[in-house]
């Protein structure tokens, strides 16, 4: 593998189109069955090897992002046995259910691979967090187990509006409030060729089991979903991950862009973006 002096990597937003909680292991970890796609919007990582590890953060959502060893970027580097200086351009909200920190960690690992020529042990990525494995591959996947079982799936690109009310939601607290830990998994995916077919499948066969407890913890999530459902052309509105980011799916990107502009005008204090998911 060819190495470089400086490497850059994209950390796209992860969207859980569906998230079924199917059980809980004796060690407390929850078993999941989730359909995941990634947006053409995300954070950006730049890295170079350094004797002293470090992290600087810029971007519109840089405020309050930790730059010490507790940040998942530096945790990922230490886990990989590497020392590097990172620059993180933060465009995604934190604790938002779209894998911001996990995607940053995965991007850091991809950058380190380019710098060192050493491939990471992908079988151990879940040690860094349940979302890190799927974010490392950063493509449409079905995620099962505790996040370590990743199966690539063929899904058509779909337009979406992402909306976050700038409220952080604690994933552990959401799981603690989950009424049932033993729920049915998703059915097998049929051939899905068009965005409309994908949306219909999601409407009829899937859900997000974390949405009710998250709404109980942060009632504003209900308002986000109501406003997304009310947008012209919205086919499905649902929460992503453990929240508070929610999404609405559309048949066309033009409709999503118009809807995002409308929602931004309604709630200029929210984080809103029209994206492609693939």
- Residues marked active site are found at 14, 131
Q: From its phi and psi, is residue 138 left (phi > 0), alpha (psi between -120 and 50) or beta?
A: left
Strand intervals (E) in 104-251: 141-145, 149-152, 158-164, 236-239, 246-250
User: What are the φ and ψ backbone dihedral angles of 228, each rounded to 5 degrees?
Assistant: -65, -45
Residues in the chain: 278
Q: Which residues fall within 8 angstroms of residue 147, CB to CB, at 6 or more apart?
A: 32, 126, 129, 130, 131, 132, 133, 134
Taking the alpha carbons of 73, 74, 76, 82 in that order, is the dihedral positive or negative?
positive
Question: What's the burial of 205, exposed, middle or buried (CB within 10 Å: 0-12/13-18/19+)?
Answer: middle
- Tokens, residue 181: 């830990």
Question: Which among 203, 200, 196 has a CA at the least distance from the CA of 250?
Answer: 196
Rounded distance between C-alpha atoms, residue 205 and residue 184, angstroms: 11
What secondary structure letter does DSSP report for 249?
A: E
Give the helix ranges, DSSP H, for 146-273.
Answer: 171-176, 195-205, 211-217, 220-230, 253-266
């Amino acid at each position: 593998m060819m190495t470089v002096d400086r490497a850059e990597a994209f950390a796209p937003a992860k969207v859980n189109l569906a998230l079924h909680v199917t059980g809980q292991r004796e060690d407390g970890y929850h078993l999941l069955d989730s359909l995941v796609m990634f947006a053409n919007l995300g954070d950006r990582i730049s890295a170079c090897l350094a004797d002293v590890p470090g992290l600087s953060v810029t971007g519109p959502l840089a405020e309050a992002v930790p730059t010490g060893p507790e940040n998942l970027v530096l945790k990922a580097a230490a886990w990989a046995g590497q020392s590097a200086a990172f620059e993180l351009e933060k465009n995604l909200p934190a604790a938002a259910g779209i894998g911001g920190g996990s995607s940053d960690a995965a991007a850091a690992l991809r950058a380190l691979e380019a710098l060192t020529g050493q491939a990471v042990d992908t079988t151990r990525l879940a040690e860094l967090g349940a979302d890190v494995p799927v974010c490392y591959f950063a493509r449409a996947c079905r995620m099962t187990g505790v996040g370590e079982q990743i199966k690539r799936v063929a899904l058509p690109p779909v337009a979406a509006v992402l909306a976050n009310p700038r409220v952080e939601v604690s994933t552990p607290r959401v799981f603690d409030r989950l009424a049932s830990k033993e729920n049915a998994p998703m059915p097998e995916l049929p051939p899905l060729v068009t965005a409309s077919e994908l949306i219909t499948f999601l409407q009829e066969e899937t859900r997000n089991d974390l949405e009710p407890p998250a709404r109980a913890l942060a009632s504003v999530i209900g308002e986000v979903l109501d406003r997304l459902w009310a947008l012209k052309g919205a086919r499905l509105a649902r929460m992503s991950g453990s929240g508070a980011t929610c999404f609405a799916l559309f048949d066309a990107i033009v409709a999503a862009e118009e809807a995002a502009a409308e929602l931004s005008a309604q709630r200029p204090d929210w984080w809103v973006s029209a994206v492609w998911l693939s």
